[in-house]
């Protein structure tokens, strides 16, 4: 039995897009964990996202962090040094950690700060979920995914550190929620019909028009935004878990992603089509991990590798 522990930090770099007040709710079937839940399961074909969610007992979001009403950036359900994440100049990642764990994000005293993409950023026992373990000698870590809601720039929409693998490796997975929202809102004309397709049972589902007599154009776009946020969260956690094996470096041109359109959460991007029929904007958005990504999941870190 494999279990994965994840903590979602909301509202860094700006006001959280994931909160219900003042912004859109994450709509549609499933929550922010919907795509990630497809990581650990054996069923093929995959269940309909958000309905079966077979893996919800094995992907655990710590500290009630899926709830919009959870305001804290730390949780006492693991060893937590996190203080803040900022973008210096809009581009440079800066991670700040408290000198002692679980002291609150507004901790005082010296902090460990890094803006490097390669330097180990956090104290070595940050994110350990087995502090009180009875059996086993090795620490087991969970993963942190951080929301950066910066209102500047449109890319990247997510980042995750490939190169260590497994939950015991680096964290630094980030989802740039407001960049996703603004990108969706600025695509095409404001009264364009919005179509959605996702990948199920080895094929893209028929295009499904989202706006209607009861769903506004903006509500339809918000639905799309929520689906891309779910996909991005799953992808960046997937990078941290090294779901595409390094052996594929020479055979998969889009490494460490599958090509866009493959239908996996590890696709290099979503597909947005504004031409052709039906007229409108067609969003093809992966919503699950396929068998290759599921098979690559591991909890124990392999020997460190270096991918530029």
Residues that bind Zn ion (CB under 5 A): 235
Tokens of 5: 């522990």
Nearer to Zn ion, 59 or 235 (CB): 235
* One-character DSSP codes across 254-298: TTTSBPTTS-STTBSS-EEE-SSSSSSEEEE---S--HHHHHH--
Q: How far is the CB of 268 from Zn ion (least distance, A)?
A: 7
Burial of 48 (0-12, 13-18, 19+ CB in 10 A): middle
d(CA 150, CA 129): 29
Q: How far is the CB of 243 from Zn ion (least distance, A)?
A: 10
- Tokens 């019909």 belong to which residue? 193
Nearer to Zn ion, 107 or 235 (CB): 235
Q: How far is the CB of 15 from Zn ion (least distance, A)?
A: 25
- Element (DSSP H or E) covering residue 5: strand 4-12
Q: Which residue number has the CB closest to Zn ion?
A: 235
Q: How far is the CB of 239 from Zn ion (least distance, A)?
A: 5
Q: How far is the CB of 78 from Zn ion (least distance, A)?
A: 25
Nearer to Zn ion, 220 or 235 (CB): 235
Q: How far is the CB of 82 from Zn ion (least distance, A)?
A: 22
Nearer to Zn ion, 23 or 288 (CB): 288
Planar angle of CA 196, 200, 204, nearest 5 degrees? 50
Nearer to Zn ion, 81 or 283 (CB): 283
Decide: helix, strand or coil at residue 282: strand
Q: How far is the CB of 289 from Zn ion (least distance, A)?
A: 13
Reference 61, options 41, 80, 75; nearest CA is 75
Nearer to Zn ion, 98 or 235 (CB): 235
Reference 8, options 31, 27, 25; nearest CA is 31
Q: 10 Å Cβ neighbour count for 251?
A: 7
The alpha carbons of the chain give a radius of gyration, in whole angstroms, of 19
Nearer to Zn ion, 46 or 234 (CB): 234
Task: Give the list of residues 6+ apart from residue 84 with CB closer than 8 angstroms, or none.
Answer: 12, 73, 94, 95, 96, 105
Instruction: Please check whether residue 237 is in contact with residue 143, taking contact to mean a CB–CB distance below 8 angstroms.
Output: yes
CA quadruple 28, 32, 36, 40: dihedral positive or negative?
Answer: negative
Q: How far is the CB of 37 from Zn ion (least distance, A)?
A: 19
Nearer to Zn ion, 45 or 253 (CB): 253
């Amino acid at each position: 039995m494999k279990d994965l522990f994840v903590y979602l930090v909301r509202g860094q770099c700006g006001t959280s897009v994931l909160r219900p007040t003042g912004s859109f709710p994450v709509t549609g079937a499933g929550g922010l964990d919907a795509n990630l839940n497809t990581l650990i399961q054996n069923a093929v074909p995959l269940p309909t996202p958000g309905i079966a969610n077979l893996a919800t007992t094995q992907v655990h979001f710590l500290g009630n962090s899926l709830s919009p009403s959870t305001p804290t950036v730390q949780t006492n359900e693991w060893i937590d040094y996190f203080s803040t994440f900022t973008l210096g100049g809009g581009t440079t990642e800066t991670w700040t950690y408290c000198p002692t764990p679980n002291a609150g994000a507004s901790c005082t005293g010296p902090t460990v700060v890094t803006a490097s993409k390669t330097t180990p950023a956090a104290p070595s026992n940050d994110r350990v979920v087995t502090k009180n373990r009875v059996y086993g000698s090795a620490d087991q870590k969970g993963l942190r995914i951080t929301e950066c809601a910066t209102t500047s720039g449109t890319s990247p929409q997510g980042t995750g550190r490939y190169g260590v693998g497994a939950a015991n490796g680096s964290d630094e997975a980030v989802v740039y929620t407001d960049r996703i929202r603004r990108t969706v809102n600025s695509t095409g004309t404001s009264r364009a019909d919005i179509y959605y397709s996702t990948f199920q049972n080895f094929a893209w589902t028929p295009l499904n028009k989202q706006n209607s007599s009861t769903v506004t154009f903006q509500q339809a776009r918000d639905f799309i935004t929520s689906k891309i946020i779910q996909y991005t969260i799953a992808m960046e956690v997937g990078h941290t878990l090294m779901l595409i094996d390094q052996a594929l470096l020479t055979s998969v041109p889009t490494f460490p992603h599958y090509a866009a359109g493959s239908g996996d959460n590890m696709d290099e991007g979503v597909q947005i089509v504004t031409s052709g029929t039906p007229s409108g904007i067609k969003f093809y958005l992966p919503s699950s991990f396929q068998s290759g990504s599921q098979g690559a999941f591991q909890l124990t870190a392999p020997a460190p590798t270096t991918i530029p």
